[in-house]
Structure 1
Amino acid sequence: MDFESAGDFVDRARAGWERARPALDVSGIEVMGRISRIGALASQRVERDLAAAAVSRAEFDVLCTLARSDRPLRASEVTAATMLSGASTTKNVDRLARRGLVERLPWERDGRVVLMRLTPLGVELVNREFPHFLDRERELLAGLDAGEKAQLAALLRKVSARVEPAG
């Protein structure tokens, strides 16, 4: 296959590596390169689209984590769900709290632990922005029919199971 004349960025990158390092099997780039590139490009798009709401992608991830929880969460739970560092979680929650989108509550069982939950203003922002987020995802997947989406989800779930920590 002539990767230079056809295909996408990943095809061209693979072809470059095949020329530069012909002894190496670079076929994994076909999948992992695309997963990484699609994720990065989709994140950039979400970041641009969220600028109007004056929240970053990381802040939106924190808001969405709190929005889908049925109870207030500890910082460690938000960190685990968002894959942010603990320090980044703290900085994002600080900014969101200053804007009145998140509130901190003491945990009755341990006074050293702080719980977080959305304020009504935070709920309003998520209710307004999350449907747009879903619309963007639908646009990205518009070229696939329902069966292809299910197949892709199943295949990605298999890959994810090898990467995700157990639990």
Structure 2
Amino acid sequence: MSVHAESGDFVDRARKGWAQVRPDLDVASIEVMGRIARIGALANHRAERHLVHEGLTRAEFDVLCTLARSGAPLRASEVTVATMLSGASTTKNADRLAKRGLIERLPWEHDGRVVLLRLTVQGQELVDREFPRFLERDRQMLSGLSASEQAKLATLLRKVALAAESSS
């Protein structure tokens, strides 16, 4: 048995530490929120590591995937909302992706000051190649759960996400 299995996961160790230094605090929420954050960070790190061979960051990949699933060009502000990046970060990522020929900027017919972003053929090919790999890494991370457990977890996380989105 590994040292990590014997001592629990990161959150178990964090709770133990808080119990020692601040036993007056109820830290039960980190059972869920701490794990969500930790799993998200680990998934992002894993994605970054695997995208480096394409010369992409996770944020750039998120922009590409947002455009790929939209089915139509999007305003930069729509990409910002979908990716939760800042407006400046969306612009910076779009600039880099456009320079690489992965997206293109189009004038918006309703307002010449607004620019639409659209995947190029090269950008679509990259998403078509990398997104299935991304999904496979997700499946690997979930492999310890049965299909039923995954469905239950998804339902519960949806409730947490809806509560978080409505309070932000």
| 1:14-93 matches, cutoff 5 A | 14-93=15-94
Moved over 6 A (4+): none
Report the counterpart of residue 154 of structure 2 in structure 1.
153
The change in CA–CA distance for 1:140 and 1:5 in structure 2 (over 3 A counts) is closer
Secondary structure in structure 2 of the residue aligned to 1:28: helix
CA offset digits 1:17-48 (Å, max 9, x no partner): 01111111011111111100000011000000
Amino acid at match of 2:68: A
Secondary structure in structure 1 of the residue aligned to 2:115: strand
Unaligned runs of 5+ in 1: none
Unaligned runs of 5+ in 2: none
The change in CA–CA distance for 1:52 and 1:148 in structure 2 (over 3 A counts) is same
Could you tell me the TM-score, scaled by structure 2's length?
0.94
Could you tell me the TM-score, scaled by structure 1's length?
0.95
Report the counterpart of residue 6 of structure 1 in structure 2.
7
CA RMSD of aligned residues (A): 1.3
Report the counterpart of residue 123 of structure 2 in structure 1.
122
2:87 and 2:113 map into 1 onto residues whose CA distance is 16
2:94 and 2:166 map into 1 onto residues whose CA distance is 25
1:9 and 1:113 map into 2 onto residues whose CA distance is 45
Amino acid at match of 2:87: G
**What fraction of aligned residue pairs are identical, expressed as a percent?**
69
1:154 and 1:60 map into 2 onto residues whose CA distance is 26
User: 1:6 Cα shift?
Assistant: 3.0
Higher helix residue share: 2
Secondary structure in structure 1 of the residue aligned to 2:114: strand
